[in-house]
Amino acid sequence: MQILPLLLLAISPIQLDGLLGDWADGVTLQEDAQFVYKRIDLPSESCLQQLPEQKVVQIGEYEVYFSPDGKGYGVSCKKGSQWISPYEAGVVFAPTTASTSFELRVNKATGTYPFSFEKLGDLRVVSWNVQFGALLKDKARGGRILKALQPDVLLIQELDGEDTCSELESFLHDTLGGSWLVETSNSNGEKRSERLKSAIATSADSMACFTVGKTPLKAIGASISFSNKPINFISLHLRCCGGPTSDAEKQRVSEATDIRKTIDSMQSPRFVIAGDWNLVGTTAPLLTVAKNDFAVVQAYQPDGRVHATWSDETSSFTPGRLDLMLYSPLSLEVAR
C-alpha cells in the first residue's frame, strides 16, 4: 500500500539532511545559483546552537555565530559590520541534534520552485503542528492549506485544549466536504502548553482509537482501514526544548519508550507514526521508537533541498527538523 506524506520531494544538487552524502572527500565549501554551502566539523559531539563557547563561521557574504557570546544559545548573523536576522540570510543547517559534522546553507538569491499537489498512492497522510491551537482560531488560513493538501488522514499536534472533537469535525466538513471522525488526546494541567492536545482525523468510515503512553504525553493512536487493511496511526508531540543532557531530553526519551511499548503490545504490521518529536537534543527519542522496524519519510520542502519543518523569525534559533514521520516499510510504500 502506498501512502503520500505531507511534503514533496524534488531533485536537487545539495540536500540539507544532515547525512552529508552530497559532499566529496575533502570538500568543505560548495555553491550553486541560489545558495552557498559549508561543511562544519567539531572535535566532539555537540549541538551547534548550544555550544559551550561561541563558534563563528564565515560563509558567502555572512558571518554566522553559533551559540553567540552573551547569550550562549541559538544563532546570530552579520553581513559586513551590520547584525542581521539569520532568517534574512537564509541560515539553515542540519542536523539540529548533537553531532560532530554539519552542513550549513545561506542564500545567494531568492528562487521560486513549481511543484504539484497531485495525489499519488492509496491515501494521503498529513502531519501538522498547528502551533498553539491556531487551526480553529484562523479557519481561513487553515482551510486554504487543507484544501490544497486534501488529506485522507490528518495527524494534528498543538490543538487548543478547549477545541472539541465536534468543532474540528464541523470545520473539516465545511472545508473539505464529507464526514470526518476526530479523536484527541487528553488535556492536562493549567499552563497553556500543558492543555495542548494531539488529534487524529479521518474521512474514512470508521476508526478505533487506542491509548498511547500516559499523561503528560500528548499522543493518541487510531486504527483506520484502507482497502480492507488496518493501519495504526499515532499522532505525537514530545516534550519541548533542552539540550542533549537536559531533563527535557530525558523526558523525551521516556515518552518515546512509552510509545514503543504501545507499539510492541499491538503486534501489527502496519504503522504510521508522526508528529512533533522536538529533536533539539539527540536522536535518541526517534531511534527508541523506530528501532529496526520503521523507516523515516525523507520529506523535503518544495525546493527539494532542505527538510526543516520549524522556523520562527522572532527566535534566536534557526530552522530545524523537529517533525518527522515513520512508517512500516515492509507493508507500506511512500508514493511521494
pLDDT in tens, 229-239: 999 999 999 99
CB 253 within 8 A of CB 299: no
pLDDT at 14 over 90: no
Question: What's the pLDDT score for residue 117?
Answer: 80
Structural domains of the chain sorted by starting position, each given as residue range(s) with its CATH number in brackets = 29-107 (no CATH), 117-293 (3.60.10.10)
| Grid coordinates given for 327 | 512508517
Q: What is the pLDDT of residues 197-256, one digit of tens each?
A: 999 999 999 999 999 988 889 999 999 999 889 999 999 999 999 989 999 999 999 999
CB 198 within 8 A of CB 182: no
Q: How many residues does the chain have?
A: 336
Question: What's the pLDDT score for residue 40?
Answer: 95
- Within 8 A by CB and 6+ apart from 333, the residues are 1, 2, 3, 121
Helices and strands (DSSP H and E) totals, the chain: 7, 20
Q: 102: buried, middle or exposed (CB in 10 Å: 19+, 13-18, 0-12)? A: buried
**β-bridge mates for residue 168, sequence order:** none
Q: What percent of the chain has pLDDT over 70?
A: 93
Q: What are phi and psi of 9, to 5 degrees?
A: -110, 130
Question: What's the pLDDT score for residue 271?
Answer: 97
Q: Pick the closest to residue 325 from 3, 90, 1 (CA basis).
A: 3
What's the CA gap between 270 and 292, in Å, rounded? 14
134-138, 259-263, 290-294, range with the lowest pLDDT? 134-138
Question: What's the pLDDT score for residue 9?
Answer: 34
pTM > 0.85: yes or no: no
What's the CA gap between 324 and 334, in Å, rounded? 14
| Grid coordinates given for 93 | 543547517
Question: What's the pLDDT score for residue 245?
Answer: 92
